[in-house]
Amino acid sequence: MHSHPLREQIIAEVHARPFQELQGPLGMRHIAVTYDDVPLSEIKASVARLSDLLELRETTGKSRFWQGENDQLTLRFEAHHEFYTLTLTALNRLELPQLPPAWLDSAPGSFLCGAEILFRDHQSEANEQAWLEQHFGEHQVNSSLVMSKVGQIWTDFYPREDSGLVRVLVEDRGLQLRQAGRLLQRIYEIETYRHIALLALPLANKVVPVINQLENELVELSTRVATEEPSKLLHQLMDLAERLEALSAQTSNRFSAAEAYFTLVNKRIAELRETRIEGRQTVEQFMDRRLDPATRTCRAAGQRIEQLSRRLARTTQLVRSQVDLSVEQQNRDMLSSLSKRAGEQLRLQAKLESFSIIVVTYYAFDLLDRTLRNLVENEEYRHLMEAGLSISVPFIALLLWIYIRRLLRGVGED
């Protein structure tokens, strides 16, 4: 017995992105960047340059995950299917770390979204209000107790003008080290996954008018099924099916990915285990109100394409059935014509049977008569036998008729 070739890869996947052990105070900057067809090797080389600029030492190095750190900073790199993320954490100080501008200018890919997280120990309520005004100003703040009330978060979900990142404040009210790491990771994953999921929304808004047009065309074609030539309708349906298939190929991957990312967002929100604070909107309530319409729009667009495909298949099958019925009718008419011709040939053959019997009887009588003349020398006996032969002509004809009827009996039945 030998190990499966994928065994190590499967085991490593379970432990590919371990949670960090974190404690306040700290500041965290997380960004998500789409690949833009840049190879992973080039991205990893760019991360290596960033590590050198920040003077980090590697602590974990895998094909799609890398982590480096020093006494003041930690950097985590994660490669996903459509994007990669970088998480830079400033340890033991309540300030946000900065990515080097020179590296940002040359970094591969397109910046999509990110989060700024400030994590501190529990403070007084008076200090809380000043903290919120400092970071959110007049914006409406969403807040809740999380992780069974051992943490609290605040955010306004607005991207900052200077960085383009959403700022989140987190307060420790009894979090363990790994629990704090899980909480912060879930916070920035919610922000990342919701943006990746929303990439499908512009596409959904773009294809909805196309779907409406295709549906109207299918309805118009369906009403003509009973009245128009099936072959013409079938050609038009094939043209409609080709356009629908192209639309499905254009959108199916994006809508399927969006559905998966929306599910991840909901799962990460559920893992926060929020407890509502009076007068504040929770993260779950905010997402239900703001994200749910986009989710339903993307899901509805994908479902409408699938339903339209099924309706088109049923209509096409109906038209094909009409074409098949038409072909069967033509075949039946052709077979009926062939059967009619065969019947006429049999009737003609029956009429010719009598002439055949007469001819065969004549040749049989002549053959027997010549045989008697050559074999019987006595003229008297010969005349008697010729007389008997003449009398037997009807019987010879009858035997021939019976023989011919027996030969043609099977043909007549067919």
Question: ∠ at Cα 77 (153, 15), nearest 5°?
Answer: 85
Q: What are phi and psi of 48, to 5 degrees?
A: -65, -40
Question: Tokens 């118009």 — which residue?
Answer: 220
Low-confidence stretches of the chain (pLDDT beneath 70): 7-17, 126, 226, 350-354, 408-414
Return the number of other C-beta atoms located less than 10 Å from residue 282's C-beta: 20
Cα–Cα dist 235/216, whole Å:
17
Question: Is the distance from CB of 118 to CB of 27 less than 8 angstroms?
Answer: yes
* CA dist 32 → 180, 354, 357 (Å): 21, 100, 102
CA gyration radius for the chain?
45
The pLDDT value recorded for residue 406 is 76
pLDDT digits (tens, 9 = 90+) for 248-294: 999 999 999 999 999 999 999 999 999 999 989 999 999 988 888 99
CATH 1.20.58 in the chain, residue ranges: 200-331
Question: Is the distance from CB of 120 to CB of 173 less than 8 angstroms?
Answer: no
Cα–Cα dist 47/39, whole Å:
13
In DSSP notation, 140-169 reads --EEEEETTTTEEEEEEEEEPTTT--EEEE
Q: Considering only the top CATH level, what class is 200-331? A: mainly alpha
The pLDDT value recorded for residue 387 is 77
Residues 6+ apart with CB under 8 A from 397: 357, 358, 361
Q: What are phi and psi of 134, to 5 degrees?
A: -65, -40
The pLDDT value recorded for residue 198 is 93
Q: Which of 117, 91, 126, 96 is nearest to 171 (CA)?
A: 117
* CA dist 25 → 29, 67, 121, 178 (Å): 14, 20, 7, 15
Cα–Cα dist 301/305, whole Å:
6
Token reading at 359? 């001819």
Q: What is the pTM of this model?
A: 0.75
In DSSP notation, 169-200 reads EEEESS--HHHHHHHHHHHHHHHHHHHHHTTH
The pLDDT value recorded for residue 34 is 95
In DSSP notation, 1-17 reads ----TTHHHHHHHHTSS
The pLDDT value recorded for residue 354 is 65
pLDDT digits (tens, 9 = 90+) for 81-117: 899 999 999 999 999 999 999 999 999 999 999 999 9
The pLDDT value recorded for residue 14 is 59
The pLDDT value recorded for residue 10 is 65
The pLDDT value recorded for residue 202 is 94
